[in-house]
Each structure stands twice: as C-alpha cells, then as structure tokens.
Chain A
C-alpha cells in the first residue's frame, strides 16, 4: 500500500491551518502521497494524560487502530504534541496488551510507527528536498526552536543528542539558511498554559525571544502549533515593540518558500508577526 499515513490533529485543522497547508504543499512537491487516517480522533494532548490515564491511552490507540485498518504502517504527525502522544502510546502498547483488547483490537498495534515531521524530512526525503530548492535562503539567520516534545524524552523519540539536536539545523542548511547557535532551542514555551496560566507562557516566551535576539536571529523556525501560538501571538504582550518582533515560521513554510511556493499557498499571511520582511532580506 503506497502513501504515508497522515494525522493532522485538531490544531492543524484549526489555528495552525498554515502548518497543514504548507506541509501538504511540500509533500506534493516531493511526490509524497499523504493519506489522512479516516475518522481519526483527538490525541488527548496534555489534558488527557494529566487527569485520566486510561482516556489518554485509548484516544491515541484508537487512532493507531484506524491507521492499521486503512492499511497504513507509518503515520506522520506534524504536531509535536500529537506525535508525542502517539509515540508514548505505541510504546505503552508493547507493555500493556490490555489496551488493544479493551478496544476490541487484535494485538500488534504497537507496530504502527508514528513519525515526527523531523524524522520524515531528515530520514526519508532529504535528497528529494534538496533537488527541489529553487530559492535559496542565503543570509537568513534562523533560530531553530524544537521545544520539548519533538525531542524528549529520548526513550520515546529515539533522538540521541537530546540536549543539542541538529535535525532542524541540517534542513535549514540544506535550504541555504544560516542556523544560529543559541541557548533556548529545547526550552519549554509553556504550551497549554497559554489559557490557564498565562504568566508561564509570557515568561518563557520572553526568555526564548531574548536568547534568539541576542545572537542576531532573523526568524524562529519551529514545528509545533503550541510553540507557534505562544511565540507568534504574544510578542506584544511580552513587551516587545513591533519593529523588534521576530517572525515565527513553521519548518514546512520555510521549506515551501525555498521550493519557490508563494506566500499565500504557505499561509505566511496568517501570522501575527509579519513574515514578509524576513524574506525580503533574503531576496536582496
């Protein structure tokens, strides 16, 4: 069965629609057919595992089961939170066959492999990607921001250099951009506290911004809808004047731009911090 399983999740169906659009556009350029899991359900995110262990297990396991039924063996989950939940539960399924039984599913669900966007781009398609770059990002200084759940914990993500990952930097270099070395690449943005404990998000966001600014970054590049919302929508609230704000760009938008796709297709017009300035610099 050809095609890659695709699990957009709730954020990419809503506030992070530009991540979904840019990812689909990039996959199209690479000739990768994305097959959305029929009837996928929410991964439960932070809230399910915080308050209800069994609900957290069953929500993610149900989506893995639906992937298997559709003949899929690998599932790309672009949202860092969705990826983490699918990966944690795939890991749990190995130890606890009772979960599959409770869902009336045959054993073996753990063999459905969740893929993060980094794993997909770095291991599967990076050669094809390089061949498609038509608009080099020469001179663009990029702060690659991983956040938490794309990399931690290594037992789940399989990432070796967990304190200093380089996957995103490799991709940005491939596009001609210049990744900066900085100190906050894997610090937490505060994630779901955006609604319930805003002081955390503003404090963390400001520290992340200051660190990127200090080393002269032009833009943030990231691959998580929560990191994006917290950094893109709240720089004003963090006390950063408009002219000093840094654009926050999804990895797939950056790749799409380097492939020559236009700003509207990539949803670059949907951000709070305008993105056009960053690319103007690179063009000149």
Chain B
C-alpha cells in the first residue's frame, strides 16, 4: 500500500529493484551527468542518493530529508540519459530514482517551484495529456499547448516557419489512435 509515510528509498526499491542504500557515495553518477554542471542541477545526483539514505537512517529527520530530495531542481533537470544508471558500480538505478522523485513530488505537491522547473513540468503535462487524449503527438499542437501553458509565446518564433518550409511541421494533425483501453488500464493500475 502506497502512503505518504512510505519512504522514498522504499519506493525506489519497489519501482527499480535497486536500493539507494547500496550507494557508497563514489560520485561516479555526478561525474558523468551532463546536467550536473554550474547553472543547472542545484544538488548532485550523488547528494540525492545521500538524502534518500538519510531518510531511512534517521527516522526522526526523515520528513526533512525527503523534503530536500523532492524540492531540489535536480530531478526535473535530469535529462534521463541513463549515464548514471549505466555507470553506478553498485547497480543503483539513479535515473529510475529521479522518475520516482518527480512522480512523488507531484503527488505530494512538494516540488521545486522555480520558473524553469514549472516550464519542464508544463511540457511533460502537455505532452502526456496530448498522448493520452489523441493517441499520437501532433508536434505543432504540442508546441502551441506548451507555449500557452507557460507564456513563452515568442520562444523559437523563427524556427516554426522555417520547419514548416522544410516540411517538418505540419499544420494539421495526422491520424489519431484510440486510447480508451490505455486510459482504463491506467485507472485500474492506480487502485491495487
């Protein structure tokens, strides 16, 4: 049973079959991470693993450790490139842990709230809504939906017409596909 009292480290174990507690803080994930550079991630992936360990090791401070991990920008700035997961000598699925942190953060309404994190969340929401509604992504509608959500109306304004001239952006959506079965299944999996 998933409750808010479930530790993040346990959720990561359930989802990925790997344990943040196995991390010995070597820093290999941080070293190879393209987003762990000045101006991007606020704390390193290695530090995220440490916070998840602290959450388990110090029950009296568990809430605070979880809050620090969930409200970091790091999970949202992770590009999902899988370099950390591939290279971890302890076999911890760090990229998979980032998925858990993003999903749990949204569920608990506890995420970073900087403009860029809100932009990234807006893109994911626009994309997933579109996929579930139409079955397929129409790129122009995706871009318009994202711009309307974020107010970035003029970002890349010159790129759209240039893409259209190359036949890379279509005005009208192509075929859509029925997603009623997918939506039913998602609801069923939500209630175990």
Contacts and interface: CB of A to CB of B under 8 A. Distances in A.
A196 B82 contact: no
Interface stretch (A128-136, A147-155, A170-178, A249-257): A147-155
Interface of B: 15, 17, 34-35, 37, 39-40, 77, 79-83, 85-86, 93, 95, 99, 102-103, 106, 116, 119-125, 127-128, 131-132, 135-139, 143, 146, 155-156, 159, 162-163, 166-170, 174-175, 177-179, 181-182, 184-186, 188-190
B80 A15 contact: no
Given A10-B136, A195-B146, A272 B166 contact: yes
A203 B79 CA distance: 13
Contact of A204 (B34, B99, B184): B34
Interface residues of A, number: 59
A242 interface: no
Interface string A43-70: 0111111111111011101100000000
Interface centre among B80, B106, B136, by most chain A C-beta atoms within 10 angstroms, is B80
Interface string A80-115: 000000000000000100110011100000000000
Nearest to A52: B128
Nearest to B129: A47
Contacts of A119: none
B182 A51 contact: no
A199 interface: yes
B139 A49 contact: no
A188 interface: yes
23 contacts: A10-B136, A10-B139, A13-B175, A14-B139, A14-B168, A14-B170, A14-B174, A17-B168, A39-B177, A46-B124, A47-B124, A47-B125, A48-B131, A50-B124, A51-B128, A52-B103, A52-B186, A102-B185, A152-B83, A152-B85, A188-B81, A196-B119, A270-B166
A192 interface: yes
Chain B interface main SS type:
helix
Interface in A148-192: 148-149, 152-154, 162, 186-188, 190-192
A198 B116 CA distance: 10
Contacts of A213: none
Contact of A58 (B93, B135, B143, B185): B185
Interface in A187-215: 187-188, 190-193, 195-200, 203-204
A41 interface: yes
B29 to A, nearest CB: 12
Contacts of A149: 81-82
A255 B40 CA distance: 38
A148 B82 contact: yes
A35 interface: no
Nearest to B170: A14
A283 B119 CA distance: 47
A64 to B, nearest CB: 12
Contacts of A238: none
A55 B186 contact: yes
Contacts of A30: none
B58 to A, nearest CB: 27
Contacts of A196: 116, 119-120, 122-123, 146
A190 B77 CA distance: 10
Nearest to A48: B128
Interface centre among B128, B166, B175, by most chain A C-beta atoms within 10 angstroms, is B128
B188 A102 contact: yes
B189 to A, nearest CB: 4
Contacts of A220: none
Nearest to A199: B39
Per CB-CB distance, the 9 closest pairs between chain A and chain B, nearest first, are A188-B81, A47-B127, A152-B82, A102-B185, A10-B137, A47-B124, A42-B131, A148-B81, A196-B123
Contacts of B190: 54
Nearest to A59: B182
B168 A15 contact: yes
Contacts of A44: 128, 131
A259 B128 CA distance: 39
A154 B83 CA distance: 10
Given A54-B190, A188-B81, A14 B102 contact: no
A51 to B, nearest CB: 5
A58 B189 contact: yes
